[in-house]
Amino acid sequence: MADVIDLGEYGAGFRADPHPVYAELRALGPVHRVRLPPPEGYDTWLVVGYEEARAALADPRLAKDVGAAGMALFDEQAFGKHMLVSDPPQHTRLRSLVTRAFTARRVEALRPRIQRITDELLDAMLPRGRADLVEAFAYPLPITVICELLGVPEIDRAAFREMSNEVVVPTSEEAGLRAADQLGTYLAELIEDKRCAGPADDLLSALIRTTAEDGDRLSGDELRGMAFLLLIAGHETTVNLIVNGAYNLLTHPDQLAELRADLDLIDGAVEEVLRHEGPVETATFRFAAQPLEIAGTAIGRGELVMIGLTAADRDACRYPAPDRFDIHRDTRGHLAFGHGIHYCLGAPLARLETRTALRTLLRRAPALALDGPPGEWLPGMLIRGRRSLPVRW
């Protein structure tokens, strides 16, 4: 068995800035046996090299359905089976049914509404002169979009937000499990309400109606699991992409000045944020369905494997001077949205929201600047984002 590197020994500095640690690990090799920092504290394989991570993300020997390994994930227990915890052929079936409803046309149709929500949030925020960008802007934009997309009634959205926050970043294990149970119950009731109400334009109603050529449809548990996945993937990651984007631009004034001078550079800026400090630090767990090797490292059947997305995207073998933030960089191939069959279905929506948010914010607040130190980083190694970002203009 390989020596175990205890990431907890790096202390709080690892959460604040994990990139030097990942660089140190890459210098030693692309794959390591590590012990995760508290509260997780268990051992896993961690892939930190770009080529190895890209290959691992598409390797069918690394499975997502932990039930086959005799394990259970709390989100699957609370919400039902969804694409992120399934393998082919089940994953193929689920993704095919969802893509029938969650189309590029549906995402593109959201463009004017996303712009209106963005402008309304800035109308409320800008007269104040200063704000926490997370609370005033980056959070309410994606949560409003995903609630409207799924058809969550406006009266329920405050409770919906509270439950989803607790599930993603629980204040305690008990509170997280309780919130998951509450959210699972809420989604089941919402789905049943929509079944009874008949045809509507929202995505959840479309998923209820979606039928494959052979008559296959999503079950109630699958609908609940899909609603959960779309909720979490559809807002939590986008919140942190917007915040990480704003922070990177505000701390790189030369890049910010170039973007202000030509807002058509926004697409490249967003892609560089995704590469440089993407909102998902590591992909959700896989496990070895059979013995395999990654870069010569033997991994036994049933062992957990964690793929470092931000670690891979700072690999100098793929991106020269990887720690430099450069909105003109060729970012093609970055892994912020994953790779292979589990590539993020919501990537077009996340890009559309972030481009709209940052472009409009920079246009309407030309004197935007940091207003003190940013909040602490969120705990854990899944989401890479800050609790707050004080700004003024």
Q: What is the pLDDT of residues 274-325, one digit of tens each?
A: 999 999 999 999 999 999 999 999 999 999 999 999 999 999 999 999 999 9
% of the chain residues with pLDDT over 70: 96
Would you say 265 and 275 are in contact if contact means Cβ atoms under 8 Å apart?
Answer: no
Q: Residue 232 — very low, low, confident or very high, per pLDDT cuts 50/70/90?
A: confident
Contact yes or no for 338/283 (Cβ under 8 A): yes
Q: Where are the beta strands (DSSP E) in 149-303?
A: 286-288, 292-294, 297-299
What is the C-alpha separation between 358 and 265, in angstroms, rounded?
Answer: 11
pTM for this entry: 0.94
CB-based contacts of 23, cutoff 8 Å, min separation 6: 314
Residue 290 has what pLDDT? 94
Measure the CA–CA gap between 243 and 204, rounded to whole angstroms: 28
What does the mean pLDDT of the chain come to?
92
User: Does the pLDDT at position 210 exceed 90?
Assistant: no
The answer to whether the CB of 61 falls within 8 A of the CB of 292 is yes
Could you please state the CATH topology (level 3) that the domain comprising 4-392 is classified under: Cytochrome p450 (1.10.630)
Phi, psi of 19 (to 5 degrees): -65, -40
Q: How far apart are CA 336 and CA 354, in angstroms?
A: 14
Which residues, at least 6 apart from 110, have a Cβ–Cβ distance to it below 8 Å? 145, 149, 349, 352
* pLDDT at position 39: 75
Distance of CA 99 to the CA centre of its chain: 19
pLDDT beyond 90 at 230? no
Indicate if the pLDDT at residue 66 is higher than 80.
no
- Tens-digit pLDDT profile for residues 234-290: 788 999 999 999 999 999 999 999 999 999 999 999 999 999 999 999 999 999 999
Ranking 134-138, 228-232, 314-318 by mean pLDDT, the lowest is 228-232
Q: Are 242 and 354 in contact (CB under 8 A)?
A: yes
Q: What is the pLDDT of residues 105-119, one digit of tens each?
A: 999 999 999 999 999
pLDDT score at 216: 84
Q: How far is CA 317 from CA 52, 325, 332, 347, in A?
A: 11, 16, 14, 25
pLDDT tens profile 211-225: 766 788 888 888 999
User: Hey, which residues does 369 pair with through a beta bridge?
Assistant: 392
Q: Residues 326-344: what's their mean pLDDT? A: 97
Whether 87 shows a pLDDT value over 60: the answer reads yes
